[in-house]
Amino acid sequence: MFNNLAENFYMIEQYIPLILAILVALLFSLFLLKASSLFGPQKPNVEKLTTYESGMEPIRTARERFSVKFYIIAMLFIIFDIEVVFLYPWAVNLKILEDKLGFFIIAEMFVFILILLVGYIYLLKKGALKWD
């Protein structure tokens, strides 16, 4: 099977200019980055080294722990966001699909919503949406 790889090598050959272009771009940008730190003037002071906050004085570090509640809400949001993402193309194409597949295609989406509804009831009852 690897013989075929060799036979198809001409395909890879076509990509050599592209690979070269990527390599040159990579090396050039790396060179620029390094060069500016090597040759540029460096006069640091306290004001320069603080976090840039649009001119405001930073109060404390931004790297602190967030409550896990934020993450739970974010995860739950994604699930129901995806639901809407699926609903939208379904609704747009409903007329065409209905001619082809009939009632089945309508029932299908309601089954999907029902499954998510069960999950929603579960998390509501378990208090996943309560903030305190």
Partner 1 sequence: MEIKSLLNILPILIISLSILILILIEAFHKKSEIFIYWITILTLIFTTFLSLITIQDQSLNFHDTIESGGITNLFYSLLLIISSLAVISSKNYLNRMQYHHGEYYILVMSAILGMMLMASSRDLMLTFLALELMSLSFYVLAGYHRKVLFNNEASVKYFLLGAFASGFLLYGIALVYGAAQSTNIIYITREFDSLLNKPLFTLGLILLLIGFSFKVASVPFHMWVPDVYEGSPTVVTALMSTSGKIAAFSALIISLYGSTASQINYETVSKIIALLATASMLLGSIVALTQTSLKRMLAYSSIAHAGYMMIGVAAANKIGMAGIIFYLAVYGFMNIGAFILISMLETSMEKRLTLDDLSGIYKTYPWFSAVMALFMFALSGIPPFGGFFGKYYVFISAVKADMTWLAVIGVISSVIAAYFYLRVVIYMYFRREGENQNLYATAAENFIITVCVLFVIQLGITPGVFLNIITRFLP
The residue ranges that bind partner 1 (CB under 8 A) are 1-2, 4-5, 8, 101, 104, 114-115, 118-119, 121-122, 124-126
- Of 58 and 102, the one with the shorter C-beta distance to partner 1 is 102
The angle subtended at Cα 55 by Cα 48 and Cα 39, nearest 5°, is 30
Select 5 or 35, whichever has its Cβ closest to partner 1.
5
Residue 3 three-state SS: helix
User: Least CB distance from residue 5 to partner 1, whole Å?
Assistant: 5
Minimum Å distance from CB 18 to partner 1? 19
Residues in the chain: 132
Amino acid sitting at position 96: I
Q: How far is the CB of 88 from partner 1 (least distance, A)?
A: 21
Which is nearer to partner 1, 8 or 50 (by Cβ)? 8
Distance CA 63, CA 56 (A): 17
| Rounded Cα gap, residues 97 and 101, in angstroms | 6
Q: Cβ of residue 15: shortest distance to partner 1, in angstroms?
A: 15
CB neighbours (10 Å) of residue 82?
11
Cβ nearer to partner 1, comparing 30 with 101 = 101
Instruction: Please give the helix or strand (H or E) that residue 41 lies within, else none.
Output: none
